[in-house]
């Protein structure tokens, strides 16, 4: 029943396992003795002034990981947080294991091994102090970057011990002693983002800020239809434009994730390059895009929903259960294609190296995959590519793709010099790897007491060939425990539209469908929506839990889901508050990315159909420890706001080309539209897990369920518009 929409690949897991074993995680600096500042392993450098630099190994995309991961090391190293300086590590999976931002995986993958890194460093420093003081190791303690011999009162700073410690054998990470949680001084304490002050000052820390001496700027013009090649363009007109230094076509290749065919316009400034593209007047062989139209897709979906799909899950006897049902309720739901739309458009700076390789500065979620892609693009081994991870101005899954890196590398190779490629906002929306849309018919059979005895879903989504496109699964954790008789079918519409993973992939769409329909089932059964969910959860409390791919983490657990639902009902005053006319409350729960969440939304709907979310209550269970409460709250609040924003967004296509190309057509939620958000974490016995994604999916159905409670409009199709609401309430 666990959501599998973004599981780490076997390669990721193996790399993480190697790192956790000790050899790579704490490899010693070969010149530590000679250095004024000594490196204790790959992550920790201790300076003579007793400050400590800790490397953050994963990309920072706004999820606070650059602060959180070093907190784990600093806690067990036993230093004061004020002593710590944080730097982004090199992109080097041989040293650091898996380095990526995705799947809310940084916490579960690094909770144990990063604490062990800190504990191993502390152990080495204590051993060095014992040798210097000629006392037993167990007579020494540590605190705030000092080793203390209580009997003599002697104290040695880490800075004075680091050189000697760096020469000692690395402890086995499986044997180092970790702190008891009650002794934490850093973990569990709110810490501001390590880059926050620099962001507020506007310092150049994002990928788009990078500059190099002698650097040129480039705009890369691609076909609006994926796979189209250039037929003709007015290169001479572009060359005649002010500031232009070069213009040339690149063939691109067949790699779905890599370089597309296009034209590079190179200039002295980015503005010159952007202005010159108007003169290019390219003609593309894009006829193959004609069938790929949103209207055509909808007609195909309607026909497929009326038939049968490929069965992917079938438990019990669904048909017999429907035959015996006292009541059957059915609805059709639709979710649109969505863009990622990070505030920082895609960009990359590239510079050829003397050995024929390439040096890259990029905001990326998969830096080491970027090395491989760049190497493939320019025809060199991946080890000749150096990637510097830059802070990302948002990622949301878009920067799991490194196509912009391939563009910059190919252009830099052609120029034999440094270049920065920056996409326009229109490019960023037109050439996204979109969250795929989906259509779904859902049916539930109820017995005379209102219990759901049968559940049947038939979904239509998008694919290439006979396989679902990236991010196009339609099952995930979708109601499998609601009924003993359950069947899921899926059919595919062939598409050329590039698709990918959007924050909480699969779950962000399927939660809307199934948690909205749960609300419909509850009303059909004459039950309160919270009580209906609790009834089902209580019936499954003793179900065996399946194993997972993470080793020490929990999969879906009805007891955890019940606890967060009960708490959110209590915190929101569910069923106890008399609401004014036009105001309603809706509830939704979900499990994804190892997090259990329940959310209640309060929404006001005006007579004219305009709506506003007034408040959202969120209760989540992501384990025993909230590592950085400040960052955790930020992630939940951001997820709620992001999810509410998604309700109003959609990308449509005409002849294979995206039609919504800027924020006038893809509205971003405004500050004035942001609701009050009440966040609470329910601590459980399980190891902590990630927070970048699991709080997002439930807010969509919580809002639409609240709209139904407010005005009787049942929302089954997104985007959510005034016209949608008025049609659903019969006012058009």
Q: What is the pLDDT of residues 585-623, one digit of tens each?
A: 999 999 999 999 999 999 999 999 999 999 999 999 999
CA distances from 243 to 170, 268, 482 (A): 56, 5, 64
Distance CA 121, CA 55 (A): 14
Both structure tokens of 193: 């983002």
Give residue-wise pLDDT tens across range 298-350: 999 999 999 999 999 999 999 999 999 999 999 999 999 999 999 999 999 99
- Quote the pLDDT of residue 624: 96
Residue 668 DSSP SS3 = coil
Residue 634 DSSP SS3 = helix
- Quote the pLDDT of residue 33: 33
For the chain, the distance separating the N- and C-terminal CA atoms, rounded to the nearest angstrom, is 41
- Quote the pLDDT of residue 603: 98
Distance CA 389, CA 91 (A): 7
Closest CA to 337 of 504, 478, 497: 497
Both structure tokens of 259: 């370089």
Burial of 169 (0-12, 13-18, 19+ CB in 10 A): exposed
Relative to beta strand 676-681, strand 611-621 is parallel
pLDDT tier at 467, thresholds 50, 70, 90: very high
Question: Any idea what DSSP says for residue 36?
Answer: S
| Residue whose structure tokens are 């409009």 | 713
Topology at the third CATH level for domain 295-338+434-728: Aldehyde Oxidoreductase; domain 4 (3.30.365)
Within a 13 Å sphere around the CA of 145, how many CA atoms are in the beta-carbon half? 22
As a whole-number percent, the residues of the chain with pLDDT over 90 amount to: 89
Distance CA 700, CA 587 (A): 10
Relative to beta strand 216-222, strand 419-422 is parallel
pLDDT tier at 465, thresholds 50, 70, 90: confident
3-state helix, strand, coil split of the chain in percent (to 5) is: 35, 25, 45
Round the average pLDDT of the chain to a whole number and report it. Answer: 92
Kindly report the length of the chain. 732
- Quote the pLDDT of residue 5: 38
- For 694-718, the DSSP string reads TTSTTHHHHHHHHHHHHHS----BS
Cis status of the peptide bond prior to 719, with omega within 30 of 0: yes
- Quote the pLDDT of residue 479: 53
Closest CA to 372 of 470, 257, 499: 257
- Quote the pLDDT of residue 553: 56
Distance CA 632, CA 66 (A): 13
| Residue whose structure tokens are 């799991």 | 400
Could you count the other beta carbons within 10 Å of the beta carbon of residue 335? 25
Q: What is the CA radius of gyration of the chain?
A: 27
- Quote the pLDDT of residue 24: 24
Does 1 have pLDDT greater than 50? no
Crossing angle between the packed helical segments 699-711 and 507-524, to the nearest 10 degrees: 30
Does 230 have pLDDT greater than 60? yes
Relative to beta strand 283-284, strand 230-232 is antiparallel
Q: E-strand spans in 565-716?
A: 583-592, 595-605, 611-621, 653-654, 657-658, 676-681
Mean pLDDT of 431-438: 98
Q: What is the 3-state secondary structure (H, E, C) of 123-146?
A: HHHHHHHHHHHCCCHHHEEEECCE
Give residue-wise pLDDT tens across range 367-381: 999 999 999 999 999
Topology at the third CATH level for domain 207-286+346-422: Aldehyde Oxidoreductase; domain 4 (3.30.365)
Relative to beta strand 347-352, strand 358-362 is antiparallel
Question: Any idea what DSSP says for residue 32?
Answer: T
Residue 152 DSSP SS3 = coil
Closest CA to 1 of 554, 513, 693: 554
Does 6 have pLDDT greater than 80? no
Does 16 have pLDDT greater than 80? no
pLDDT tier at 41, thresholds 50, 70, 90: confident
Q: Which residues pair with 457 in a beta bridge?
A: 442, 488
Domain ranges of the chain: 10-187, 207-286+346-422, 295-338+434-728
Query: Please, are residues 526 and 491 in contact by the beta-carbon 8 Å criterion?
Result: no
Give residue-wise pLDDT tens across range 485-495: 999 999 999 99
| Residue whose structure tokens are 């006392």 | 135
Does 52 have pLDDT greater than 60? yes
- Quote the pLDDT of residue 37: 83
* 308: CB partners within 8 A, 6+ apart: 458, 489
Query: Please, are residues 651 and 291 in contact by the beta-carbon 8 Å criterion?
Result: no
- Quote the pLDDT of residue 546: 62
Distance CA 82, CA 732 (A): 61
- Quote the pLDDT of residue 577: 86
Question: Any idea what DSSP says for residue 423?
Answer: -
Mean pLDDT of 56-72: 98
Distance CA 127, CA 129 (A): 5
Both structure tokens of 234: 């007015």
Does 20 have pLDDT greater than 70? no
Query: Please, are residues 597 and 695 in contact by the beta-carbon 8 Å criterion?
Result: yes
Look at domain 10-187 and name its CATH class. alpha beta
Closest CA to 371 of 355, 356, 388: 388
Distance CA 211, CA 228 (A): 32
* 621: CB partners within 8 A, 6+ apart: 560, 563, 564, 595, 596, 597, 681, 682, 683, 684, 686
Question: Any idea what DSSP says for residue 436?
Answer: P
Query: Please, are residues 433 and 404 in contact by the beta-carbon 8 Å criterion?
Result: no
Both structure tokens of 539: 């019936």
Mean pLDDT of 677-682: 98
């Amino acid at each position: 029943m666990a959501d599998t929409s973004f599981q780490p690949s076997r390669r990721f897991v193996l790399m993480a396992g190697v790192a956790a074993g000790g050899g790579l995680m704490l490899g010693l600096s070969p010149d530590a003795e000679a250095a004024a500042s000594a490196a204790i392993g790959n992550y920790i450098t201790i300076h003579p002034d007793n400050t400590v630099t800790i490397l953050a190994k994963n990309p920072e995309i706004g999820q606070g990981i650059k602060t959180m991961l070093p907190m784990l090391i600093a806690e067990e190293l036993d230093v004061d947080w004020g002593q710590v300086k944080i730097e982004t590590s090199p992109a080097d999976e041989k040293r650091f294991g898996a380095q990526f931002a995705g799947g809310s995986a940084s916490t579960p993958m690094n909770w144990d091994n990063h604490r062990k890194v800190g504990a191993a460093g502390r152990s080495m420093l204590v051993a060095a102090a014992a040798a210097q003081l000629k006392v037993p190791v167990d007579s020494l303690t540590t605190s705030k970057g000092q080793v203390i011999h209580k009997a003599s009162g002697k104290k040695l700073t880490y800075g004075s011990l680091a050189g000697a410690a760096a020469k000692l054998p690395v402890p086995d990470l499986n044997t180092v002693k970790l702190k008891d949680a009650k002794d934490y001084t850093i973990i569990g304490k709110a810490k501001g983002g390590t880059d926050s002050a620099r962001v507020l000052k506007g310092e150049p820390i994002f990928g788009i800020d990078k500059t190099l001496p002698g650097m040129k700027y480039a705009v890369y013009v691609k076909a609006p239809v994926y796979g189209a090649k250039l037929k003709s363009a007015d290169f001479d007109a572009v060359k005649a434009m002010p500031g232009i230094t070069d213009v040339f076509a690149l063939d691109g290749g067949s790699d779905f994730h890599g370089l597309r065919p296009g034209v590079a316009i190179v200039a002295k400034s980015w503005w010159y390059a952007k202005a010159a593209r108007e003169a290019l007047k390219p003609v593309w062989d894009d006829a193959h895009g004609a069938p790929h139209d949103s209207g055509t897709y909808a007609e195909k979906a309607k026909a497929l929903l009326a038939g049968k799909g490929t069965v992917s899950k079938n438990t019990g006897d669904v048909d017999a259960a429907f035959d015996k049902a006292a009541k059957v309720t059915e609805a059709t739901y639709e979710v649109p294609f969505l863009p990622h739309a990070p505030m920082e458009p895609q960009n990359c700076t590239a510079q050829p190296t003397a050995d024929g390789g390439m040096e890259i500065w990029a905001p990326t979620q998969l830096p080491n995959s970027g090395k491989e892609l760049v190497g493939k693009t320019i025809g060199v081994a991946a080890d000749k590519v150096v990637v510097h991870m830059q802070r990302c101005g948002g990622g949301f899954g878009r920067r799991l793709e490194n196509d912009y890196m391939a563009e910059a590398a190919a252009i830099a190779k052609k120029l034999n010099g440094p270049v920065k490629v920056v996409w326009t906002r229109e490019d960023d929306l037109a050439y996204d790897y979109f969250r795929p849309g989906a259509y779904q018919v859902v049916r539930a059979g109820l017995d005379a007491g209102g219990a759901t005895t049968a559940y049947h879903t038939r979904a239509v989504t998008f694919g290439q060939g006979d396989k679902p496109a990236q991010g196009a699964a339609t099952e995930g954790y979708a109601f499998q425990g609601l009924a003993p008789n359950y069947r899921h079918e899926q059919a595919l519409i062939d598409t050329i539209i590039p698709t990918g993973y959007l924050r909480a992939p699969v779950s962000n769409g399927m939660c809307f469908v199934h948690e909205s329909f749960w609300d419909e089932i509850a009303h059909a059964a004459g039950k309160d929506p919270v009580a209906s969910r609790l009834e089902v959860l209580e019936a499954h409390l003793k179900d065996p839990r399946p194993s997972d791919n993470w080793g020490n983490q929990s999969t879906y657990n009805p007891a955890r889901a019940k606890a967060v639902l009960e708490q959110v009902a209590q915190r929101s005053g569910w069923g106890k508050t008399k609401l004014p006319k036009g105001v309603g409350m809706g509830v939704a729960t979900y499990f994804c990315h190892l997090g259990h969440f329940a959310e209640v939304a309060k929404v006001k709907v005006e007579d004219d159909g305009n709506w506003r979310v007034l408040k959202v209550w969120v209760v989540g269970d992501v384990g025993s420890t909230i590592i950085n409460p400040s960052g955790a709250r930020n992630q939940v609040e951001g997820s709620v706001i992001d999810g509410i924003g998604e309700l109003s967004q959609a990308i449509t296509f005409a002849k294979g080309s995206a039609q919504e190309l800027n924020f006038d057509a893809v509205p971003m939620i405004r500050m004035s539209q942001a609701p009050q958000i009440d966040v609470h974490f329910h601590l459980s016995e399980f190891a902590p897990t990630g927070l970048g994604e699991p709080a997002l999916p439930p807010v969509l159905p919580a809002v639409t369920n609240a709209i139904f409670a407010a005005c009787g409009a049942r929302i089954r199709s997104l985007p959510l518009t005034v016209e949608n609401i008025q049609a659903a309430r019969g006012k058009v």
